[in-house]
Amino acid sequence: MGWAHWVNSSISDRLWNCRSREASIVKGNTMRMWIGNFMVVAGLLTAMTVGTGLLFAYDVIDVQHGGTVEGTIRLDGAVPEPKGFNLITFPDPAYCGRISNGRGWRLLHDFVVNHNGGLKDAIVLLEGVDAGKPFEFSVPLIEARDCKFAPFMTIVRNGHAVEVINMDPVMHDIQGYETSIEAGARVLFNTPLVMNHQHQRGDIHAMHNHAPGKSLVGPLYLNRGRRTFYMQCGFHAYMESWAMAVNNPYYTLTDQNGAFTIENILPGTYQLVAWHPQTGPGVTKKVTIQPDGKLVEHLSLLAPKGNRSAFKVMDNPRFGPDTLGYSVDIQPFVEHQH
Ligand SMILES: [Cu+2]
């Protein structure tokens, strides 16, 4: 079996607010195979046998006198400028321009840093944990809304599903990759993300009622030790979503102040890892958790410098809303970016 084409149709037409996350967990008896909807490079056997570094034994035990590690993740160095994307060079500039800078550009703020340098949405996890609290895992849900993936950062688990849904009245095309510094990138899937054909477009400038398209659910099989999952829209390059695969339940994302807490850890010595896209491999620190102990750790990730992207906001682009010979009205009605 080289390719699997899976979509969970049972949840596809429910209203967004009413749906049950648990309903979408991939299990054989809840999945239907549909051809041509969600393409995932299965490579199941390969992942099982070659995916070293991904398949760890983890035992759920009653943690007695568990400890805590908490602290902050800071971004060291100047906060990188947001990436700028000239909306007129991508499809659906008026609709997607509902989030733009008022001059026809979409900004991708991939570093959110508070006044103290605290970095939001850094992934913090403990490596080397082979026993502890229950490892419950909900299928991460990634929404395409106003031509933006949300969340920007999430967590995945090898062999478990991700779910992607289109809330927009335009097509998206999701490209999923796994990558690592050692093994490079590999395509996991590339498939259109259909929209809801009953979508009420209304006045997209003033308001827009988002209606979910068919929900696409498929398992991720990461291999050769790759742990970074990256998703981008093939139509709108400014749509990015990132994730890291975890192999135990001791993980979290930093809050808006860069703060994190990981609790109920079996006493022992582990590696504390912090990571964020484009800060290199992340930082790792050996930590020892004492019985009932509370360890405080403040770690820093290094901000990338220089021109990290081909995309920068320009004031005199070759293509602009005025260059097409007809008028394209791009107004940031949802969010006026700066
Ligand atoms: Cu898109």
Distance 96 CA to ligand 1 centre (A): 9
Distance 226 CA to ligand 1 centre (A): 25
pLDDT confidence bin for 72, thresholds 50/70/90? very high
131-152 average pLDDT score: 95
Distance 234 CA to ligand 1 centre (A): 6
Distance 133 CA to ligand 1 centre (A): 38
Distance 162 CA to ligand 1 centre (A): 17
Where would I find the beta strands (DSSP E) of 225-258?
Answer: 228-233, 240-245, 251-253
Does the pLDDT value for residue 249 go beyond 50?
Answer: yes
Distance 239 CA to ligand 1 centre (A): 6
Smallest CA-to-CA distance from 120 within 240, 234, 266, 274 is with 274
Q: Per residue in 32-56, pLDDT tens?
A: 333 233 433 333 333 333 333 445 6
Do residues 123 and 251 touch, judged by C-beta distance below 8 A? yes
Distance 176 CA to ligand 1 centre (A): 13
pLDDT of residue 56: 64
Which tokens sit at 237? Answer: 């390059």
- 256: CB partners within 8 A, 6+ apart: 112, 114, 118, 120
17-45 average pLDDT score: 33
Cis bond before residue 134 (omega within 30° of 0) = no
pLDDT of residue 280: 75
Q: Per residue in 161-209, pLDDT tens?
A: 999 999 999 999 999 999 887 888 899 999 999 899 888 777 777 678 8
What whole-number percentage of the chain has pLDDT above 70? 80
| Domains in the chain: boundaries | 3-306
Q: Per residue in 87-125, pLDDT tens?
A: 999 999 999 999 999 999 999 999 999 999 999 999 999
pLDDT of residue 63: 96
29 phi/psi in degrees, rounded to 5:
-80, -5
Torsion of CA 141, 55, 258, 335, to 10 degrees: -20
